Structure 1
Amino acid sequence: MATDPNSTDPNFWPEYLEQHRDPTNRALHVAGTLSAAALLGVGLARRDWRALVAAPLVGYGAAWLGHFLVERNRPKTLDAPLASLAADVRMAGLAITGQLAREYRRYGIPDRPGLVIRRHPPRAPALEPAPSDEKRG
């Protein structure tokens, strides 16, 4: 069995975050991951092969819609399936605990296309001189 070459790559997680900058893509991933986990649990508990088959279809289907229709990039699952699955679970966990935005800030990755995250507070605008009390004729 071949091992996933990117599973120990320290750059994998930041690259994964970079490919999931759009909030809609992330929402599709989280929904797909949680739905797949629920289907997997139901399938195992009830010994229902239909739920077990549906789990990866629902999970990857939602995620790939996010990549192809929203983010317009290539899913990392195609290059590193195990590392990508682990990252999907990690992202879902961080998202439902409210810690995902912190990860984007940690790596300096804008969490929305075109959004610039400022590392320092902006400078205060220069004060304009007070209007003159002189009457104009």
Structure 2
Amino acid sequence: MSEKKFKSLKEFYPFYLSEHRNTTSRVLHFIGIGLVCLAFFTGFLFHNWHFFLAMPVLGYAFAWVGHFFFEKNKPATFQYPLYSLASDFMLFYDLLTGKQSFIVKT
């Protein structure tokens, strides 16, 4: 984990990307955030709060498996919860649109 104190999301996002270089981890993050979005819209459409309760479990379960077993690092969520959450959605969008690749070249 970085000791640097980030002052903005724009400053934080490159660090976030450096902590998400493993292909399997990126796929797991993508699946987790995709399921979070699906749970949100399903809960909203069907007026069922159980889907909203499932959102953090879905998102964090996939992401933390990616970090602990594939990246072998500590999630930035513990030190930067809001920047990390926003970056999860930014990475999801970047992967979806092709701005980022699932495979990071070293």
Q: What is residue 13 of structure 2 aligned with on the other side?
A: 13
Contact 1:7 1:83 (8 Å CA) reproduced: no
How far 1:44 sits from its partner (Å)? Answer: 1.7
How far 1:6 sits from its partner (Å)? Answer: 4.0
Residues 1-137 of structure 1 correspond to what in structure 2 (within 5 A)?
6=6, 8=8, 10-101=10-101, 111-112=104-105, 115=106
The farther-off stretch of 59-68 and 8-17 is: 8-17
How far 1:98 sits from its partner (Å)? Answer: 1.0
Query: Against the structure 1 CA distance between its residues 64 and 111, is the aligned structure 2 distance closer, same or farther, given a 3 Å change threshold?
Result: same
Q: What residue ranges of structure 1 are gaps of 5+ in the alignment? A: 102-109, 116-137
Question: In proportion to residue count, which structure has more helix?
Answer: 2
Question: How many equivalent residue pairs?
Answer: 101
How far 1:7 sits from its partner (Å)? Answer: 5.9
Higher relative contact order (CA 8 A, sep 6+): 2
Query: Against the structure 1 CA distance between its residues 57 and 7, is the aligned structure 2 distance closer, same or farther, given a 3 Å change threshold?
Result: farther
- With the length of structure 2 as denominator, give the TM-score of the two structures: 0.86
Deviations 1:42-84 (A, max 9, x none): 1122121211111110011100110011111010111111111
Contact 2:9 2:83 (8 Å CA) reproduced: no
2:88 partner amino acid: D
1:73 partner amino acid: N
What is the alpha-carbon distance in structure 1 between the residues aligned to residue 7 and residue 38 of structure 2? 25
CA RMSD of superposed structures (Å):
1.8
| Greater Rg over alpha carbons, structure | 1
Q: What residue ranges of structure 2 are gaps of 5+ in the alignment? A: none
User: Post-superposition, which runs of at least 4 consecutive aligned residues in structure 1 deviate over 3 A?
Assistant: none
1:111 partner amino acid: V
Contact 1:7 1:82 (8 Å CA) reproduced: no
- What is the SS of the residue equivalent to 1:99? coil
